[in-house]
Amino acid sequence: MVSFFVESGQFAGISSLGVMGVFSFSMFLGGWLAFGAQFKHILSALLCVEVVLVGVLGGICASVPVFSGYLFFYVLGLGVCESALGLSLLVVYARSHGSDMFKGLDSTSG
């Protein structure tokens, strides 16, 4: 069972995270599982990475309520930069290769 450290120095299970923590953890885990399961389109991979980032953002807000205002905007800013960079790389790749399929990334195919 996954354990998380709480302020009193004791260990508690997932039930101590609350609804927001469990939802964030499930988004984080689901995003990584979806990222590992798909092998066709780069856009699908970028969307899975965005789901992981939303899970991290929710987890930060659920676990650190004192600094959540600053951390929320910091992680949100990183997510926006990551999205813009991923989309621009996708556009460059799609223009040069004609599609966003992963099979075009194979350097041994010629």
Structural domain for 49, as ranges: 4-109
Q: Please give the tally of structural domains in the chain.
A: 1
CA distance 93 to 16: 44
- Report pLDDT digits (tens) over 57-107: 888 777 776 666 777 788 888 888 988 998 898 888 888 888 777 765 565
CATH number, domain containing residue 93: 1.10.287.3510
pLDDT tens digit sequence for 1-30: 444 444 544 445 555 667 877 888 888 999
Inter-residue contact 63 to 57 (CB < 8 Å)? no
Token duo for residue 91: 């556009």
Gap between the Cα atoms of 58 and 53, Å rounded: 9
Q: Which residues pair with 4 in a beta bridge?
A: 12
Output the pTM of the full model.
Answer: 0.67
